[in-house]
Amino acid sequence: MDVLTNLYSLKKPSFLLFWSSHLICSMGVWIQYVALGWLIYELTGSPFSLGIVGFISAIPLVLITLIGGVLADCFSKRNLLIIAKFLAMGQAFALGILSWCDCIQVWHIILAMFVLGAANALESGGRNALIAEILKPSEITNGVGLLFTAGSIGMVIGPGIAAILLSFYGESFCFALNGIMYIISAFMLFYVRTAPGDLVQSEEKYSRFNFKVTYKDLPGFKKMVGLILLVASVSFFCMSLLVILPVIAKDVLKLDASGLGWLTNAFGVGFVLGSLLATGIWKSRGHFIAIAQGLLLFFLLCFSFSNIFSLSWFFLLNIGTTAIVIFILCNSVIQTLSPHEYRGRIMSVYSLFSAGGARIGGLYLGFLAENIGISLSILISFIILLIVSLFAFRQFHIYSLS
């Protein structure tokens, strides 16, 4: 498979701008993520506190994500993303100022995470659905894969930058840089041009602005439920590892702040590899989802027993690779099955479980880690994920998806 041939969607100027905006934003997000995780653990010394802060950011996702999906179906998805960027920018600069003044407290972080969660909830459904407004239906899988690739590259570069900034300048510089990147990302979106479908006629807005959508009557509803269940379980039991990585880095692998950056980087490298692999998959997607799920379970089991940095880095790399393949393929199938007029709402449900699962899972994993230890907690996650995976593939026939 020639990787370069899978970059054809980037030839479209609007998608290239959209992709670049997401890349810059993702870099800033991961710079802040690493700095914030280390700061919280330094302030509290508690794995459960990491989970609580992650859970706080999930509350707006639960409350606002579905509303954001409705808004994305009624108004310009691009403008909704721009508003969300500026909202997220505010919390980044606030954290930077508080940290620079050396007066930051845990409640400041919790409030900032609530604001960030609200911004993410507003943009999540619109960001996914906007792909279909820029690209042709036959290009959606490629577009989804490339957008995930942008986020993954940001996850590779961001933690590396964070590791350097934390070593020489501290957390405040990380937060401030994230705020600047949000501004750049927002202004790039101003120049993105979409198909007419993103500009809903005024007489249609109010007919779409409702929550009473009978999803079970939509074509492919059962398949979408199975895919969302699979994505939610992977997010809850695997992506939640990112929430408690400071604990693994400091207590299990005996690393410092820069070591946490490089450990997070393993996920990012895996995301890049998985994204590039998934962009070229457009046939027998159910088969590839099943293979990726099996490999994910294997590497999660291995990671639960590892206390060596190099091995842990390798296992996280493969967990990231397989998880992102699952996310991209499930995302593209759901977008293909979704009617245009409901795509924003359906993708907001997908985003709710894919993004919210990791944050809520971080609370669960942080609680277990504080009470029974991190290795046993990950092993329990593996067992539960195995059971859920078998149920999803058997009940919803995911393996047979084309």
Q: Residue ranges of the domains in the chain?
A: 11-195+216-400
The secondary structure of the chain in percent helix, strand, coil, rounded to multiples of 5, reads 85, 0, 15
> Cβ contacts of residue 62 below 8 Å, gap of 6+?
352, 356
Q: Has this prediction a pTM greater than 0.85?
A: no
pLDDT band of residue 214 (cuts 50, 70, 90) is: low
> Cβ contacts of residue 102 below 8 Å, gap of 6+?
none
Closest CA to 163 of 245, 68, 81, 270: 245
Q: Which fold has domain 11-195+216-400?
A: Growth Hormone; Chain: A; (1.20.1250)
Residue 282: its pLDDT value, please? 62
Average pLDDT, the chain: 84
Please give the residue that has the higher pLDDT: either 1 or 63.
63
Strands, DSSP E only, in 181-264?
A: none
Please give the residue that has the higher pLDDT: either 291 or 63.
291
* pLDDT higher than threshold 60 for residue 207: no
Please give the residue that has the higher pLDDT: either 302 or 330.
302
Q: What are phi and psi of 117, to 5 degrees?
A: -60, -40
Residue 205: its pLDDT value, please? 46
Residue 168: its pLDDT value, please? 87
Residue 42: its pLDDT value, please? 86
Please give the residue that has the higher pLDDT: either 129 or 205.
129
- Average pLDDT in the 12-25 region? 92
68-72, 127-131, 204-208, 227-231: least confident range = 204-208
Residue 198: its pLDDT value, please? 45
d(CA 292, CA 12): 30
* pLDDT higher than threshold 80 for residue 138: no
Residue 59: its pLDDT value, please? 82
